[in-house]
C-alpha cells in the first residue's frame, strides 16, 4: 500500500520540476519555476474572470496545456491503485473538480465566441500576435463557425432578399456591452481609478470590493491587479 503512495509522491515531485521546465522554455530566462498549484490558481482566476466579464479575455493556452498534462500524469499514476482505495477516491475527486474548472472555462469562452463571432474576429485581425485573445484552436473554431453561420443565413434567407437589403443582415455583428456592471475585488492597492462618467476617482485597497462598469476596470483585470467575482 505504501509502495504506490511513494511512487505517487516521487512522481509529484518530478512533475513539478517538469512543469517548471516546460514553463521556462515558453517564457524568457527570468521566468520562475511554476508549481502545479500555481497553475491551478491562475486557471481558477481566469475561469471566474471569464464567467463575469462581458467580453472575451486573453486565452490561457500555456496554463491549460500544463494542467492537462498534469491531470493525465496523475491519472497514469493512479492506474495501479484499487478503485476504492482511499487515495484513489480522493485524487479522483480532485481531478473531477479540476476538469470541471477547465471545461467550464472553455465552454464559457466558446459561448462568447459563438455570440460575438464577427466582432471578435474583426478585433483579432487588428491585434499583434502577442495580444491575441483567441488561442490558435479557438481562432480556427471561430472562423469555421462564422462561415457555417453565414452559409446558413445565406441559403435560407439573405440570398432571397433584394441585394440592397442584404448588407446589414449579412453582417449581424453582435458586440458585448462593455459598460455592463461587474463585481470586482482588488488584489493590490490601485490608486486613481476612474469610477464614473464625471471622472470621479477612487483608490482601491487590497481586498476591497466594488460594483462598477466593466470598461472602467478592464485593464486592471488584464494586469491581474483586480479580479471579477
Of positions 7, 32, 104, 173, contacts another protein by CB under 8 A: 104
C-beta of 130 vs 197, nearer to another protein: 197
Distance CA 113, CA 134 (A): 9
**Residue 42 found at the interface with another protein (CB under 8 A):** no
Handedness of CA 60, 139, 182, 48 (dihedral sign): negative
Closest Cα partner for 178 from 127, 211, 126, 217?
A: 217
Distance CA 112, CA 176 (A): 9
Site for another protein in 190-219 (CB under 8 A): 195-197, 200, 202, 208-213, 216
- Mark out the alpha helices in 116-205 (DSSP H runs): 117-125, 136-156, 167-171
Task: Give the nearest distance from C-beta 32 to another protein in angstroms.
Answer: 18
Of positions 56, 57, 64, 190, contacts another protein by CB under 8 A: 64
Distance CA 197, CA 201 (A): 10
**Residue 168 found at the interface with another protein (CB under 8 A):** yes
Of positions 75, 155, 188, 219, contacts another protein by CB under 8 A: 155
**Residue 119 found at the interface with another protein (CB under 8 A):** no
Q: How far is CA 203 from the centre of its chain?
A: 27
Task: Give the nearest distance from C-beta 95 to another protein in angstroms.
Answer: 8
Task: Give the nearest distance from C-beta 141 to another protein in angstroms.
Answer: 4
Amino acid at each position: 500500500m505504501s509502495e504506490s503512495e511513494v511512487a505517487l509522491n516521487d512522481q509529484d515531485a518530478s512533475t513539478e520540476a517538469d512543469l517548471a521546465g516546460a514553463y521556462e522554455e515558453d517564457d524568457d530566462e527570468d521566468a520562475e519555476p511554476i508549481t502545479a498549484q500555481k497553475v491551478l490558481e491562475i486557471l481558477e482566476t481566469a475561469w471566474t474572470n471569464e464567467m463575469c466579464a462581458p467580453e472575451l479575455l486573453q486565452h490561457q493556452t500555456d496554463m491549460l496545456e500544463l494542467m492537462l498534462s498534469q491531470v493525465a500524469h496523475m491519472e497514469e499514476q493512479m492506474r495501479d491503485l484499487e478503485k476504492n482505495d482511499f487515495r484513489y477516491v480522493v485524487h479522483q475527486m480532485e481531478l473531477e473538480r479540476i476538469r470541471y474548472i477547465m471545461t467550464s472555462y472553455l465552454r464559457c469562452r466558446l459561448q462568447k465566441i459563438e455570440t460575438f463571432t464577427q466582432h471578435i474576429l474583426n478585433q483579432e485581425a487588428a491585434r499583434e500576435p502577442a495580444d491575441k485573445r483567441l488561442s490558435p484552436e479557438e481562432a480556427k473554431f471561430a472562423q469555421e463557425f462564422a462561415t457555417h453561420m453565414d452559409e446558413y443565413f445565406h441559403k435560407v434567407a439573405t440570398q432571397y432578399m433584394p441585394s440592397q437589403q442584404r448588407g446589414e443582415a449579412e453582417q449581424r455583428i453582435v458586440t458585448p456591452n462593455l459598460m455592463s456592471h461587474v463585481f470586482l475585488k482588488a488584489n493590490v492597492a490601485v490608486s486613481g481609478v476612474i469610477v464614473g462618467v464625471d471622472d470621479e476617482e477612487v483608490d482601491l485597497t487590497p481586498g476591497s470590493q466594488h460594483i462598477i462598469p466593466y470598461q472602467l476596470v478592464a485593464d486592471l483585470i488584464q494586469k491581474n491587479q483586480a479580479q471579477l467575482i
